[in-house]
């Protein structure tokens, strides 16, 4: 049994201490965003009380302190995902910006007519739209790997879709709708053999499982602080040094230059070349505190804890004949995200009614409309777990579902 004790952990999260609509809060919308422990809130507050300045801009004490904080955060992220060099860590706004940066800087410059870009059909829109633009502009072909009946990408599909014309493969490690963990190790290995570069969207994986970018040998990897106990407005792009060094800047302006002439400019080395303008230092401070919090508990323990919650929840949900699970119903290679539909009740109605009982879930297309079309459903309801969730939250949710049915006049 993991040593993680969610009852104790809940006490670190002030937001969980309040009642929502008069009820105990069962927060089950962690794929959208996670809550912040007091340690993160205080780290941000302390920074603002003691060390706030514009990094790299001046020689005064506060600017120096802010620079130090920003550098420490970068070093923390480097260690967290085991990057080889600190300068391979670029701070962005979020996963969306990380993916756009690669598409515009790498895609627009290294993709040619007739090349192939391969995605999974389960991608979030932020990993589809930038590639649609690159494909249109460059006359490249955008292809999708489809899922089998158990929401998985088969080896056959990987080998059929990835060819020697494939120049980019971009795929989420964990689907934000289905909870499927895609076989990225296999995709990276095969993709490299075919000569492609591989981008992994780690928005839903990094917060929940250990990730080692060197071990994976992934070329680019993006994620968001706000899905791992950190603040909104700061994201991460990891890229292999030799790739980043050969890419042109994405945004241009202050702090990313070496020298500016009237008609030309030369650029700063990485990571600064990709960090134009004043950066989100308090976000970086919060991210560092969030990583320290996660490391204290251990990503392995968090992953095991969520596996136990998924097993518990799936067992209860599968016993209710009116629930349809959208996603893998076994425990192999899946994370703490469960999408479902309820016979004859719209997902938005489910979410709104559950909210009146203090249960926070998400409903909709989850920014994955191509997946919804593929599954031939307009929307799902979704629960998603994190380290502070416990079986009590799941019991509250299951009781809530029974109440939703009653609202619509169905028996239990």
Choose, by CB under 6 A, the member of 87, 88, 116, 201 that binds ligand 7TS.
Answer: 201
Residues numbered 266-295 forming contacts with ligand 7TS, rule: CB under 6 A: none
Query: How many Å apart are CA 172 and CA 199, to the nearest integer?
Result: 8
CB of 74 to ligand 7TS, least distance (A): 19
DSSP codes joined into one string, 391-403: HHHHHHHHHHHHH
Choose, by CB under 6 A, the member of 34, 100, 204, 389 that binds ligand 7TS.
Answer: 204
CB of 130 to ligand 7TS, least distance (A): 11
**DSSP SS3 for 323:** strand
Question: Helices 281-297 and 38-50, interaxial angle, to 10°?
Answer: 150
The dihedral built from the CA positions of residue 111, 114, 115 and 117, taken in this order, carries a sign that is: positive
Instruction: Pick the closer one to ligand 7TS by CB: 52 or 93.
Output: 93
Instruction: Pick the closer one to ligand 7TS by CB: 51 or 326.
Output: 326
Query: How many Å apart are CA 368 and CA 321, to the nearest integer?
Result: 26
Residues numbered 219-238 forming contacts with ligand 7TS, rule: CB under 6 A: 224
CB of 258 to ligand 7TS, least distance (A): 30
**DSSP SS3 for 125:** helix
CB of 73 to ligand 7TS, least distance (A): 17
CB of 60 to ligand 7TS, least distance (A): 33
Choose, by CB under 6 A, the member of 31, 170, 180, 396 that binds ligand 7TS.
Answer: 31
Phi-psi region at 253: left, alpha or beta (left = phi > 0; alpha = psi -120 to 50): left
Instruction: Pick the closer one to ligand 7TS by CB: 105 or 204.
Output: 204
Whole-angstrom CA distances from 140 to 99, 162, 375 are 18, 14, 26
Two tokens, residue 268:
């700063």
Q: Which element (helix H / strand E) includes 185?
A: helix 184-193
Instruction: Pick the closer one to ligand 7TS by CB: 51 or 91.
Output: 91
Choose, by CB under 6 A, the member of 34, 126, 151, 396 that binds ligand 7TS.
Answer: 126
Choose, by CB under 6 A, the member of 101, 128, 145, 172 that binds ligand 7TS.
Answer: 172
CB of 274 to ligand 7TS, least distance (A): 16
CB of 223 to ligand 7TS, least distance (A): 8
CB of 30 to ligand 7TS, least distance (A): 9
**DSSP SS3 for 101:** helix
Residues numbered 95-124 forming contacts with ligand 7TS, rule: CB under 6 A: 95-96, 124
Residue 341 contacts ligand 7TS per CB under 6 A: no
Interface mask (CB under 6 A) for ligand 7TS, residues 372-411, using x and -?
A: ----------------------------------------
What letter does residue 174 receive in the DSSP assignment? B
Two tokens, residue 176:
């934000």
Could you tell me whether strands 235-239 and 362-364 are parallel, antiparallel, or unpaired per DSSP bridges?
Answer: unpaired
Residue 67 contacts ligand 7TS per CB under 6 A: no
Sole residue written with tokens 């929502």: 20
Q: Note whether 76 and 55 are within 8 A (CB).
A: no
Q: Note whether 288 and 279 are within 8 A (CB).
A: no
Instruction: Pick the closer one to ligand 7TS by CB: 105 or 205.
Output: 205
Start-end of H helices in 31-113: 38-50, 61-80, 95-101, 108-110
**DSSP SS3 for 51:** coil
Q: Note whether 343 and 322 are within 8 A (CB).
A: yes
**DSSP SS3 for 405:** helix
Active site residue 22: no
Residue 32 contacts ligand 7TS per CB under 6 A: yes
Annotated catalytic residue within 41, 232, 367, 377: 367
Residues numbered 80-99 forming contacts with ligand 7TS, rule: CB under 6 A: 94-96
Interface mask (CB under 6 A) for ligand 7TS, residues 351-370, using x and -?
A: -----------x---x----
Q: Note whether 53 and 62 are within 8 A (CB).
A: yes
Query: How many Å apart are CA 318 and CA 217, to the nearest integer?
Result: 38
Instruction: Pick the closer one to ligand 7TS by CB: 94 or 326.
Output: 94
- Per CB under 6 A, residues contacting ligand 7TS are 31-32, 94-96, 124, 126-127, 172, 176, 201, 203-204, 224, 362, 366
Q: Which residues are catalytic?
A: 367
């Amino acid at each position: 049994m993991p040593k993680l004790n969610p009852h104790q952990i809940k006490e670190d999260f002030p937001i969980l201490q309040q009642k929502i609509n008069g009820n105990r809060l069962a927060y089950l919308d962690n794929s959208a965003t996670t809550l912040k422990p007091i340690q993160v809130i205080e780290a941000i507050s302390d920074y603002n009380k003691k060390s706030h300045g514009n990094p790299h801009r001046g020689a005064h004490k506060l600017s120096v302190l802010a620079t130090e904080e920003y550098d420490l955060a970068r070093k923390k992220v480097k260690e967290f995902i085991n990057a080889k060099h600190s300068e391979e860590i670029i701070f962005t706004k979020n996963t969306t910006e990380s993916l756009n940066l690669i598409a515009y800087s790498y895609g627009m410059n290294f993709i040619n007519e007739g090349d192939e870009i391969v995605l999974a059909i389960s991608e979030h829109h932020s990993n589809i739209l930038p590639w649609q633009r690159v494909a249109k502009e460059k006359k490249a072909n955008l292809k999708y790997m489809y899922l089998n009946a158990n929401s998985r990408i088969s080896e056959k599909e990987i080998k059929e879709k990835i060819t020697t014309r494939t120049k980019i493969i971009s795929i989420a490690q964990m689907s934000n709708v289905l909870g499927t963990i895609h076989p990225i190790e296999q995709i990276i290995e095969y993709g490299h053999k075919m000569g492609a570069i591989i981008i992994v969207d780690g928005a839903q994986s990094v917060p929940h499982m250990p990730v080692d970018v060197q071990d994976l040998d992934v070329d680019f990897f993006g994620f968001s602080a706000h899905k791992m106990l950190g603040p909104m407005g700061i994201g991460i792009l990891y890229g292999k040094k030799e790739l980043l060094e050969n890419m042109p800047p994405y945004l241009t302006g202050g702090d990313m230059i070496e020298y500016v002439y009237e008609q030309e400019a030369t650029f700063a080395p990485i990571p600064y070349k990709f960090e134009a303008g004043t950066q989100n230092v308090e976000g970086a401070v919060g991210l560092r505190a969030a990583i320290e919090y996660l490391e204290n508990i251990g990503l392995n323990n968090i992953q095991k804890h969520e596996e136990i919650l998924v097993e518990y929840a799936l067992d209860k949900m599968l016993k209710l004949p009116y629930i349809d699970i959208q996603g893998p119903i076994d425990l192999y290679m899946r994370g703490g995200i469960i999408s479902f539909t309820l016979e004859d009740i719209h997902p938005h109605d489910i979410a709104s009614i559950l909210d009146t009982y203090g249960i926070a879930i998400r409903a909709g297309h989850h920014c994955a409309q191509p997946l919804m079309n593929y599954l031939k459903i307009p929307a799902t309801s979704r629960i998603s777990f994190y380290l502070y969730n416990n079986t009590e939250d799941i019991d509250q949710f299951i009781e809530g579902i029974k109440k939703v049915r009653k609202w619509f006049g169905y028996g239990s």
